[in-house]
């Protein structure tokens, strides 16, 4: 007939010195719990008999135990068998008492319990509460537990445990949130390293191709090939360059340039702006018929070239992403022949009348 177990201790075999002292000094030494009423897998007198099926022995012990202790250390958390035992003890009718050993804390313990239900093995007040629970659950008479003996054994246990941990410290565990954060940082760093490697390879290829370039046209094509610039970013850059040249003109002159480039038959109200028009005529920016002169001065040639670059860009088959972003940014039609395009997209002030 199998012996009746009163106390089941779930622990890691690597923590045998801790468990030995807990049994010898607290359970047996101070509370007089008989060794044959205690079950753990590593301590003499309480462990599984040689030749027994350890799984069957654990199951049998769990059936009769009135108190299940979980001695939770970093070693315990790393043991698959201990994690299985932890799950098993919660489905029994016995009282479950998790006992944590630093650096395990309430955040890293991994038990779905309120912190008040978890005790610290190295804390004297926790041990006092454990004594009361054991006394009640095992019906130990008050007179059997001598106060002086309990205090002496408790303090001896705490002292020995502190000394043991001082010489056999655990690695500090981290809670799930910290682990998840570090894992994300690791993934981000790996991604960054991959991007750096890809950029390095791309730069090496760019240098190789630039060495083979025959003229400025080849350099421009090669540079554009390796650019990470999006279509919309390229478009914005073209518009900014055009605006920079045009914004030095008076709005009425910009109106004349728009009229000429768009090829629209618009009436320019020159009488109100005689001074800037005369200035533009004197500098050969426009002709007397109030048309822009794109051929005479370098500045006007640059304006025509800038406008042609935008026109050439817009004549391409642009991506859906470009059109979606354009519609989010602007209301003007995508056309250099449209006055609103010049005002909204090129961000210019145009006077006509």
What's the pLDDT tens digit per position in 205-262? 767 777 787 787 776 666 666 566 788 989 999 999 999 999 999 999 999 999 999 9
Q: Are residues 116 and 213 in the same domain?
A: no
Tell me, yes or no, whether 157 lies in a domain: yes
Strand partners, 262: none
Burial of 106 (C-beta count, 10 Å sphere; 0-12/13-18/19+) = middle
Q: Of 20-34, 52-66, 174-188, which one has max mean pLDDT?
A: 20-34
- Among 207, 223, 239, where does a domain finish? 223
C-alpha count within 13 angstroms, C-beta hemisphere, residue 147: 0
Q: Are residues 133 and 27 in the same domain?
A: yes
Q: Are 126 and 22 in contact (CB under 8 A)?
A: no
pTM as predicted: 0.48
Q: Residue 47's domain is classified under what CATH number?
A: 3.40.50.10140
Q: Are residues 152 and 90 in the same domain?
A: yes
Q: Are residues 81 and 181 in the same domain?
A: no
pLDDT of residue 219: 66
Q: Are residues 63 and 212 in the same domain?
A: no
pLDDT of residue 196: 84
Q: Are residues 300 and 154 in the same domain?
A: no
Helices (H), the chain: 16-21, 54-64, 74-77, 80-89, 124-137, 147-167, 176-212, 216-225, 231-246, 251-262, 274-282, 298-314, 320-329, 339-340
Tell me, yes or no, whether 2 lies in a domain: no
Tell me, yes or no, whether 237 lies in a domain: yes
Q: Are 235 and 341 in contact (CB under 8 A)?
A: no
Tell me, yes or no, whether 1 lies in a domain: no
Give the model confidence (pLDDT) of 62-83 as tens digits.
888 999 999 999 898 888 888 8
Tell me, yes or no, whether 350 lies in a domain: no
Residue 180: give the domain boundaries.
176-223
Tell me, yes or no, whether 352 lies in a domain: no
Q: Are 14 and 75 in contact (CB under 8 A)?
A: yes
Q: Are residues 133 and 268 in the same domain?
A: no
Among 29, 34, 32, 30, which residue's Cα sits nearest to residue 147?
30
Tell me, yes or no, whether 56 lies in a domain: yes
* All residues at 6 or more sequence positions from 124 whose CB lies less than 8 Å from its CB, including other chains: 154, 155, 158
Q: Are residues 69 and 113 in the same domain?
A: yes
* Number of separate domains in the chain: 3
Dihedral of the alpha carbons of 187, 193, 194, 199, in degrees to the nearest 10: 150
The alpha carbon of 222 is separated from its chain's Cα centroid by a whole number of angstroms, namely: 37
Tell me, yes or no, whether 314 lies in a domain: yes
- Among 167, 185, 211, where does a domain finish? 167
Q: Are residues 254 and 306 in the same domain?
A: yes
Q: Are residues 114 and 22 in the same domain?
A: yes
Q: Are residues 36 and 109 in the same domain?
A: yes
Q: Does residue 138 surpass a pLDDT of 80?
A: yes
Give the model confidence (pLDDT) of 170-209 as tens digits.
876 666 777 788 888 888 888 888 888 877 877 777 677 7
DSSP characters for 1-69? -PPPPSEEEE--GGGHHHHHHIIIIIIIIIT---GGGEE-SSSTTTSPPTTS-HHHHHHHHHHH-SEEE
CA distance 257 to 286: 8
Q: Are residues 249 and 128 in the same domain?
A: no
């Amino acid at each position: 007939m199998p012996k009746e177990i009163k106390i089941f201790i779930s622990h890691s075999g690597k923590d045998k010195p801790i468990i030995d002292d807990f049994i010898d000094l607290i359970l047996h030494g101070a509370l007089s719990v008989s060794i044959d009423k205690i079950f753990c897998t590593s301590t003499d007198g309480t462990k599984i008999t040689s030749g027994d099926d350890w799984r069957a022995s654990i199951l049998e012990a769990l059936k009769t135990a009135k108190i299940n202790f979980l001695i939770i250390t970093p070693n315990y958390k790393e043991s698959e068998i201990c994690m299985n035992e932890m799950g098993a003890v919660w489905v029994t009718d016995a009282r479950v008492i998790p006992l944590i050993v630093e650096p395990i804390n309430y955040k890293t313990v991994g038990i779905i319990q309120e912190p008040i239900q978890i005790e610290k093995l190295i804390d004297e007040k926790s041990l006092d509460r454990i004594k009361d629970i054991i006394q009640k659950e095992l019906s130990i008479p008050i007179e059997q537990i001598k106060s002086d003996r309990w205090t002496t054994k408790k303090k001896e246990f705490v002292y020995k445990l502190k000394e043991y941990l001082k010489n056999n410290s655990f690695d500090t565990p981290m809670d799930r949130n910290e682990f998840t954060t570090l894992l994300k940082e690791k993934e981000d760093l790996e991604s960054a390293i991959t991007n750096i490697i890809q950029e390095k390879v791309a730069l090496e290829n760019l240098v190789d191709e630039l060495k083979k370039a025959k003229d400025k046209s080849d350099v421009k094509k090669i540079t554009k090939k390796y650019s990470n610039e999006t279509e919309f970013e390229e478009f914005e850059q073209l518009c900014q360059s055009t605006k920079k040249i045009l914004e030095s003109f008076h709005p009425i002159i910009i109106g004349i340039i728009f009229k000429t480039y768009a090829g629209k038959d618009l009436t320019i109200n020159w009488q109100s702006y005689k001074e800037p028009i005369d200035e533009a005529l004197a500098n050969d920016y426009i002709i007397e018929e109030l048309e822009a002169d794109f051929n005479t001065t370098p500045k006007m040639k640059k304006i025509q070239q800038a406008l042609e670059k935008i026109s050439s860009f817009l004549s391409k088959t642009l991506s859906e992403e470009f059109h979606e972003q354009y519609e989010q940014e602007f209301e003007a039609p995508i056309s250099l022949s449209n006055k609103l395009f010049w005002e909204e997209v090129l961000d210019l002030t145009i006077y006509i009348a």
